[in-house]
Structures are given as structure tokens and as C-alpha cells.
Amino acid sequence: MPIYRLVYYSRNHVALDVLASELADILAKSRENNIRDEITGALMFNAGCFAQVLEGPLERVEAAFERIQQDERHGEVSLLSLEPIAGRSFPNWAMGFVGASAADVERYASFGAASGFDLSRFDGDELHQLLLELAIEEERAAA
């Protein structure tokens, strides 16, 4: 079955005082749905923005993205890319959460953002690459 990769970014609408619990809720629900739907990927939160990679069968990725777009916990959901891929980048992650460690924040500087790191400046390939690098580091740290 052909596998597709979708990349988007969006702006956070969740108040900071409830952000941690909302993020936990988003990840729990995502992992439950994505296991069912054979979707893998990674989610990043930074400076008021989300970036997410979803990979899986086209119809299921599109259905998940429809639900995600309806979710009022974020807005200005911007699709950056949707294309067939040769293989999954996040085969082991129903939905990894990346980019939240102090070391990661330092890394953003290498992408040219000293402060107010703004995901809207990235295209789909660049965001995919950034999330992949963060995921590889996190898997290494956990090993």
C-alpha cells in the first residue's frame, strides 16, 4: 500500500496555564487513533506554533488531517506538503513529541532563529528534516 507524508504547521490557541495537560491529551488521543489508522509521525511545539509530520495510507492521513483542522486548540493550519514516500521516517512512533528539551532550543539557533523561532518560515521538506533530526536525537538519548 503506498505511503504518503503530510507536513503542516499551525498556531497554538491553548492558554499557557493548561498547555501541558492539553498537550498530554492531544498526544494520548493521537497515539490511540494513529495506531488504529497505521499512521506514524512526530509533533513539535515551539514558540506558539505546532509542526507535525503524518505518514500513512493517503485516505487515513487525509481523514486525520480533516479532524486536526477542526480542532480549536490551534488555528491557521497550513498544509506545507503531501506526497508519496518510499518509506516512513518515524516507523516506531505513533506520534512522537519532539523539540521540548533545552538542548533542542539551542539547536534551533543552527536553523537561523536566535529568538522567536518561527515555524512559518520553513517549507515542508525543511520541517520534515528538522523533526527527523530531533527524533533521532531523542531516540539516541533514550537508548
Ligand X SMILES: Cc1cc2nc3c(=O)[nH]c(=O)nc-3n(C[C@H](O)[C@H](O)[C@H](O)COP(=O)(O)O)c2cc1C
**Which residues make up the interface to ligand X (CB under 6 A)?**
26, 29-30, 33-34, 43, 50, 52, 54, 64, 67-68, 71, 73-74, 95
CB of residue 65 vs ligand X: minimum separation in angstroms?
9
Angle 43-46-51 from CA coordinates, rounded to 5°: 35
Amino acid at residue number 111: F
CB of 44 to ligand X, least distance (A): 9
For the bound state, the minimum distance from the C-beta of residue 10 to ligand X, rounded and expressed in Å, comes to 6
Cα within 13 Å of Cα(63), Cβ side: 12
**Measured from the CB atom, is 29 or 121 closer to ligand X?**
29
Measured distance between the N- and C-terminal CA atoms of the chain, rounded to whole angstroms: 31
Nearer to ligand X, 9 or 108 (CB): 9
Q: Is 72 helix (H, G, I), strand (E, B) or coil?
A: coil
Least Å distance, CB 114 to ligand X, is: 25
Is the Cβ of residue 52 or residue 89 nearer to ligand X in the bound state?
Answer: 52
The residue (of 55 and 138) whose beta carbon lies closer to ligand X is 55
Query: Is residue 62 exposed (0-12), middle (13-18) or buried (19+ Cβ within 10 Å)?
Result: middle
